Structure formats: structure tokens, C-alpha cells
Amino acid sequence: MTDQPFITTVERHFLDRKGRNPHATAEFSWLLSGITLAAKIIAAQIHRAGLVDIIGRTGRTNVQGEEVQKLDEFANDTLVRCLGYRDNVGLLVSEEEDEPHVIKERGESGKYIVLFDPLDGSSNINANVSIGTIFSILARDPKVDRNDVLAHVLQPGCKQVAAGYVVYGSSTVLAYTAGAGVHMFTLDPSIGAFVLAQENIRMPEAAKIYSVNEAYEETFPENFRRYLRWAKSADGGGYSMRYIGSLVADFHRTLISGGVFLYPSTKKSPEGKLRLLYEANPLAFVAEQAGGLASDGRQRILDKKPTAMHQRTPLVIGSKQEVERVLRA
């Protein structure tokens, strides 16, 4: 009989960190299983998108003023249902909704807060472009009144217990960090589990790649325009531009291949476009744990103190040397 290789799932991998992380407990692993279950359900629906009536708009707009796609709604409902029954989840906060879900019946046991962008890049589904889910996990502050919901939600990114993303592409990949490196898992459809593919991923310190929507270059602040002129010039070393238009996909490529992703403020969006709590914070946590950097152009993303649930921010994220190069501009 041939020996089968040992399979390490996300939940098993996290429990193996017991002793190195105070949150590496069976109950926290149960929370993570809610995220992986939701990701598997969402992935299955995405792969059937051309066969069922799940593509297109719902006809309504979300709190961000954006048109809601049918897949956005499905992904959001799936995450709420899968996480809402975890006893240790007290609050669920979605980019798609006006207010947090307070899981009241959990009483004193609901000590964790899960924030998420249920389906980043969903408008690209018709073009078969990779899209994804981004998540961030905070612990309720014991010093804060339990009924003061926003005070618990509006914590800086440096307080995150864990964060990560799922990218739905040619394969479904989950990457997460809990403050001890970044680890990547691939969904094996034959057994229905996310299986460890690579531990302790390190982002290349430098790579001549920049990722930005250059259609808006003329509306960027001058320092960003100066950097882009340099990067494209012969003196700048001839950087390549790679831009997918789906944040999760662009960040995943940057994590693996290096470079820098830019989403500056514009004349139309002077505060930036990306959401601090659901996009910038979790990806910044992942980037830093992989040896990269993340900034809003003025300060470290993880040091920003949120002032609103749907606060927006500029974002410069990627390889350490490349982010520093942008900031020097």
C-alpha cells in the first residue's frame, strides 16, 4: 500500500501555531473554517456563472454608491450565513452593507469581529478575470463598552489578529497571515479542502513592475506622476506595467512576482478610492508579513486610525524597495 502524503488544511495549519500565537485555539480555527466554507461555496458558484442566472446587476446600489452585482449579493449572504453561526463571532462588517451585523444571541462569547469585501472585482466576471474575497479579523477591545459597536470596529490595522484573501482564478487560492508569516493554500476540488501549498511566502524586495490604472494619470498628484514618468523613462530602467483591474488579482501577482501596486488619490476621489477596513488594512498586513510595505503616500497603512466604517484611502503596496522608491518621489 502506497503511503499518502499528509494533508495540511488552513485550520490544521493555524492550530499548529499553538504557543506562538495567543489566538491559535480550536475556537479560532472554527472561525477560520467559516471563511473557508464560504470561499468554497462562492468558488463553486463562480465556476457555474455561465450556466446559472448569477451574472449581471441586481438593479440596486450599495452604500458606496456602486451598482451591486448578483455575485456580490450572493457572496455577501454566503459569508454572513457561514460566519453568523460561529459562537466566537460577535460582529460582521461588510463593504456591501450600511451597518455591522451584531450577532446578539452570541452574548459574551462573541469576541471576534470579521470584516470583509465579499467579492472584489465582481464587475470583471463577464470577462473571466480573476476576482476575490478579502477578510480581516479583529478582537473586541475589552476596555471598550460592548454596546459601542463602532468603537470596536474602528481599530487601526496594526490590531488585526489575522487577515487574508481568496482569489478565484484558474485555481482557487487562499493566503492568510496571523502575524507569523504568510501562508498559501490551494483548493483541491477532489477532496473539497484548502491544502497547504507554500509556507512563509516572501515578496521579492525589488522588481521592475508597476501596477496602476494609467487612464487616470493626469488626475494623480504630481509626486505620483513624477514617479510614473521616471519608471517609464529609459533612465528609470524600463519598468513594465501590469494591471488587471481586480485588486485581489493585482495584489496576488505582486505578492508572488514583486513590484508595486498604486491607487493614488485623484481629483475626483481626493481621499482615495479603496476602502481602508476591507481592502487596504488586510492586504497591508499580508504585505508586511511577506516582507513588503504598504502606505497611503504619507503614513503606514496599518497605523491609520479609522474614523468611519467605509473610509477610503490611497494605497501604495508591494515590494519594500519599490514602495520606498515611490515614496521618495
Please tell me the distance from the alpha carbon of residue 38 to that of residue 31, in angstroms, as a whole number: 11
Query: Cβ distance 118 to 72 under 8 Å?
Result: yes
Count of Cβ atoms closer than 10 Å to residue 60 Cβ: 8
- pLDDT at residue 15, as a whole number: 76
Main-chain dihedrals φ then ψ at residue 5, nearest 5 degrees:
-65, 145
Q: If you average pLDDT over residues 164-184, what whole number do you get?
A: 93
- Does residue 2 register a pLDDT over 50? no
Chain position carrying cell 485550520: 11
Higher pLDDT, 118 or 102: 118
124 CB burial (10 A radius; 0-12, 13-18, 19+)? middle
Residue 158's Cα: distance from chain center in Å? Answer: 15
7-21, 190-204, 292-306: which has the minimum mean pLDDT?
Answer: 7-21
Query: Cβ distance 118 to 96 under 8 Å?
Result: yes
- Does residue 157 register a pLDDT over 90? yes
Domains of the chain, by residue range, sit at 10-198, 209-328
Question: Percent of the chain at pLDDT above 70?
Answer: 88
117 strand-pairing partners: 134
Q: If you average pLDDT over residues 273-292, what whole number do you get?
A: 97
- Does residue 255 register a pLDDT over 90? yes
At 59, the amino acid letter reads: G
How many CA atoms lie within 13 Å of 270's alpha carbon, on the beta-carbon side? 1
Query: Cβ distance 274 to 134 under 8 Å?
Result: no
Q: What is the DSSP letter of 75?
A: H
CA 113-185-173 angle, 5° bins: 85
- pLDDT at residue 58, as a whole number: 53
CA distances from 223 to 80, 264, 301 (A): 41, 10, 18
DSSP string, 15-41: HTTBTTBTT-SHHHHHHHHHHHHHHHH
Mean pLDDT of the chain: 87
Is residue 111 very low, low, confident or very high in pLDDT (cuts 50, 70, 90)? confident
- pLDDT at residue 86, as a whole number: 86
Please tell me the distance from the alpha carbon of residue 221 to that of residue 212, in angstroms, as a whole number: 14
Question: Which cell goes with 221?
Answer: 498628484
Q: If you average pLDDT over residues 138-153, what whole number do you get?
A: 86
The CATH number, out of the four listed (3.40.190.80, 3.50.50.60, 3.40.50.720, 3.90.550.10), of the domain defined by the range 209-328: 3.40.190.80
Q: Residue 225's closest CA among 86, 100, 326?
A: 326
Question: Percent of the chain at pLDDT above 90?
Answer: 62
At 232, the amino acid letter reads: K
Is residue 243 very low, low, confident or very high in pLDDT (cuts 50, 70, 90)? very high
Please tell me the distance from the alpha carbon of residue 11 to that of residue 190, in angstroms, as a whole number: 18
Is residue 18 very low, low, confident or very high in pLDDT (cuts 50, 70, 90)? low
- Does residue 213 register a pLDDT over 80? yes
5-19, 28-42, 181-195, 260-274: which has the minimum mean pLDDT?
Answer: 5-19
At 145, the amino acid letter reads: D
Alpha helix ranges (H) inside the chain: 10-15, 26-47, 70-84, 149-153, 222-232, 247-257, 281-289, 320-328
Question: Which cell goes with 123?
Answer: 464587475
Higher pLDDT, 146 or 233: 233
Count of Cβ atoms closer than 10 Å to residue 26 Cβ: 10
117 CB burial (10 A radius; 0-12, 13-18, 19+)? buried
Q: If you average pLDDT over residues 87-113, what whole number do you get?
A: 81
Q: Which CATH architecture has domain 10-198?
A: 2-Layer Sandwich (3.30)
Query: Cβ distance 248 to 134 under 8 Å?
Result: yes
SS3 239: coil
Is residue 144 very low, low, confident or very high in pLDDT (cuts 50, 70, 90)? confident
Chain segment 38-80, per-residue pLDDT in tens: 999 999 988 876 545 555 555 566 556 566 678 888 999 999 9
- Does residue 316 register a pLDDT over 80? yes
Is residue 183 very low, low, confident or very high in pLDDT (cuts 50, 70, 90)? very high
Please tell me the distance from the alpha carbon of residue 90 to that of residue 194, in angstroms, as a whole number: 25
